[in-house]
């Protein structure tokens, strides 16, 4: 079986050439993010992931987490790996120094996050949820809550969860029934939550649950939901875990993938009620939970990037070793490595190009997160926040849908051996399948994109982004290099297709919302391939400029241009067809009555 090797060279290229690491490092508070420091972080993270996390991926998938009498045991080696993870300070990377974090940009954390997820997706889900809970408490927690929880959670000594879903309420949080009964300076929580990632485990000494619940007399629907912090063990005055709270893990789910990640059913209030404290104000819980949700959605998008890379690496290693059939057009009768067969090369190029495109778009989004929070100019912060808001559903939805395609292609490269679990290729597809579902399905991301991010503001941010895409297309056409000219032409056609969709959505969202939403997911995919193609075009321009200056590894830079050309000729070529699906495809979607299905 192939080993995981973090693609540090490509990560560094994207950080510097596309995401403007030097500009992010110059923002207030990020002075420590020097090129040398970032290089050391990436190299050490790559080593940790290769030596500690990746070797546990396959055994963890086979063993899985186990539940017994309310207690959950993670697979062999996970507890020690988590100890090394926290001792290495990895959990604290992007969080504020005032609470014990390292205060580094999200842009620096993004490639590190990708490495964790590519090496061992199930393991990485624990810090993912902890990070989202930290974000919510940082922005909406009281001073007392911050003192009690943030240092421990940032250090990773305590972990965090997000408790939204209930048996009767999936994505429709208006149906949440968990109750929060006032009891002096706290509340008593009663109810059940499902699909709680790392809701119970043996990795940390305490688990801090953020729980959505309703107070007595709260308004109906989503306007009556509040957010509560409900720890497994109530903190003592000295900050150590104290009395066990009235909550328990009823069971863990048996899943298609991510077997080592315990997905818990949690019961609150079997006895007197679990003690919880209100976060922020009553009835604003959904607003606060979206802080966690957006952090989690970006992180799940990074799962898509990571799975693309991991499946590609595995398929590539197999294709170089597997001898099968005579090479087309070659003399002799000896079987050749399958990487020499044109269709296998097509599949590998598809995997490579989509891994690089999703990575580039995600890192650029991370850079806008840093600008939105740290740029000294208010107008610049607002522009980056608007762009980040537009990109989050694309990064989440497109990257994860792409991961399903890429991991499935990885199995195809392996042929029949890919269908055999012992090969290991199938795990990536099984693990990828959940990524388009949790933290909001692709349909939810797409509805958010066309509703909140395009139609509501008349397409202003989308049009501004597409203007940047057109400028890049023009620069490619004017570059004077054959490959770059073709990339520019394809990108210009993709931009035109996306722009026509934006205009159609803005014009029809009010009068015919069902027709607009019928094309939401195809529009999200269109945005992904156009914006991903934009980043690939920018990468080709940067690589060509380096080659012209005689800088860097010529073979690597030439491969960047060739990969961008492949992306333009293959994924990006679908843009015009997707435009037709979005603008003209609604009648077919809505044609049948319920009874006709």
Would strands 179-183 and 158-163 be described as parallel, antiparallel, or unpaired?
unpaired
Q: Which residues pair with 254 in a beta bridge?
A: none
Residues in the chain, total: 597
Residue 453 tokens read as 């991010």
Contact indicator for 203, 267 with CB cutoff of 8 Å = no
**Which residues lie closer than 8 Å to 594 by C-beta, 6 or more apart?**
none
Contact indicator for 344, 338 with CB cutoff of 8 Å = yes
Residue 269 tokens read as 């209030």
**Given 3-state DSSP classes, what are the helix, strand and coil percentages for the chain, each rounded to the nearest 5?**
65, 10, 25
- Dihedral sign, CA of 396, 401, 406, 408? positive
Q: Which residues pair with 328 in a beta bridge?
A: none
Look up 468 and say whether it is catalytic: no
Q: What is the DSSP letter of 14?
A: I
Residue 38 tokens read as 């970032």
Q: What is the C-alpha separation between 294 and 162, in angstroms, rounded?
A: 12
Give the count of beta carbons closer than 10 Å to the beta carbon of residue 250: 16
**Which residues lie closer than 8 Å to 592 by C-beta, 6 or more apart?**
none
Q: What is the C-alpha separation between 48 and 8, in angstroms, rounded?
A: 13
Q: What is the C-alpha separation between 214 and 223, in angstroms, rounded?
A: 10
Q: What is the DSSP letter of 337?
A: B
Q: What is the C-alpha separation between 16 and 580, in angstroms, rounded?
A: 36
**Residue whose pair of structure tokens reads 């899943």 in the numeric block:** 255
Contact indicator for 138, 278 with CB cutoff of 8 Å = no
Contact indicator for 410, 547 with CB cutoff of 8 Å = no
Q: Can you spell out the DSSP letters for 424-451? A: SHHHHHHHHTTTTTTTS-HHHHHHHHHI
Q: What is the C-alpha separation between 12 and 35, in angstroms, rounded?
A: 10
DSSP H/E element including 289? helix 285-321
The residue from 439, 468, 500, 595 that is catalytic is 439
Q: What is the C-alpha separation between 575 and 65, in angstroms, rounded?
A: 42
Q: Which residues pair with 213 in a beta bridge?
A: 226
Q: What is the C-alpha separation between 573 and 567, in angstroms, rounded?
A: 8
What amino acid positions are annotated as catalytic residues? 439
């Amino acid at each position: 079986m192939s080993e995981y090797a973090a693609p540090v060279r490509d990560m560094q290229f994207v950080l510097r050439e596309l995401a403007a690491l030097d500009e992010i490092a110059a923002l207030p508070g990020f002075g420590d993010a020097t090129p040398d420091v970032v290089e050391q972080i990436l190299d050490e993270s790559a080593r940790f992931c290769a030596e500690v996390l990746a070797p546990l991926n396959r055994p963890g998938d086979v063993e899985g987490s186990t539940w017994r009498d309310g207690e959950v045991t993670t697979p062999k080696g996970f507890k020690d790996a988590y100890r090394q993870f926290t001792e290495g300070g990895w959990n604290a990377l992007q969080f504020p120094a005032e609470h014990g974090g390292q205060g580094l940009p999200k842009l620096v954390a993004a490639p590190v996050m990708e490495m964790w997820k590519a090496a061992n997706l199930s393991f990485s889900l624990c810090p993912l949820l902890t990070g989202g809970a930290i974000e919510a408490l940082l922005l909406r927690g009281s001073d007392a809550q911050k003192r009690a929880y943030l240092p421990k959670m940032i250090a990773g000594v305590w972990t965090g969860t997000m408790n939204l879903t209930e048996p009767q309420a999936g994505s429709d949080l208006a149906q949440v029934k968990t109750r929060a009964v006032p009891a002096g300076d706290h509340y008593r929580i009663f109810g059940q939550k499902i699909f709680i990632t790392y809701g119970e485990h043996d990795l940390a000494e305490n688990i801090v649950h953020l729980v959505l619940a309703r107070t007595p007399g709260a308004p109906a629907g989503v306007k009556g939901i509040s957010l509560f912090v409900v720890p497994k063990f109530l903190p003592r005055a000295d900050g150590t875990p104290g009395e066990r709270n009235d909550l328990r893990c009823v069971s863990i789910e048996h899943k298609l993938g991510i077997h080592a990640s315990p997905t818990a059913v949690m019961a609150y209030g079997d006895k007197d009620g679990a003690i919880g404290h209100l976060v922020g104000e009553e009835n604003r819980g959904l607003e606060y939970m979206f802080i966690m949700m957006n952090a989690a959605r970006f992180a799940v998008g990074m799962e898509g990037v990571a799975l693309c890379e991991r499946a590609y690496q595995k398929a590539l290693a197999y294709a170089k070793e597997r001898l099968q059939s005579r090479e087309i057009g070659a003399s002799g009768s000896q079987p050749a490595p399958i990487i020499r067969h044109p269709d296998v090369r097509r599949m590998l190029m598809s995997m490579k190009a989509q891994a690089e495109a999703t990575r580039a778009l995600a890192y650029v989004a991370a850079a806008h997160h840093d600008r939105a929070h740290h740029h000294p100019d208010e107008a610049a912060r607002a522009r980056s926040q608007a762009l980040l808001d537009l990109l989050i559903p694309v990064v989440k939805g497109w990257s994860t849908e792409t991961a399903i395609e890429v991991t499935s292609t990885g199995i195809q490269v392996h042929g029949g051996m890919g269908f055999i679990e012992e090969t290991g290729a199938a795990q990536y597809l099984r693990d990828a399948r959940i990524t388009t579902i949790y933290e909001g399905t692709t349909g939810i991301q797409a509805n958010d994109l066309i509703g909140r991010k395009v139609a509501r503001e008349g397409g202003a941010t989308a049009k501004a982004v597409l203007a940047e895409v057109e400028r890049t297309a023009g620069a490619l056409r004017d570059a004077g290099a054959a490959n770059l000219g073709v990339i520019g032409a394809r990108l210009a056609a993709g931009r035109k297709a996306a722009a026509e969709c934006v205009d159609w959505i803005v014009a029809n969202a009010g009068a015919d919302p069902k027709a607009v939403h019928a094309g939401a997911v195809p529009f999200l995919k269109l945005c992904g391939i156009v914006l991903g193609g934009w980043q690939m075009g920018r990468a080709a321009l940067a690589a060509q400029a380096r080659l012209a200056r005689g800088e860097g590894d010529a073979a690597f830079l030439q491969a960047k241009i060739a990969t961008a050309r492949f992306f333009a000729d293959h994924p990006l070529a679908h843009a015009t067809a997707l435009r037709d699906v979005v603008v003209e495809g609604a009648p077919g979607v809505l044609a049948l009555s319920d009874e006709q299905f």
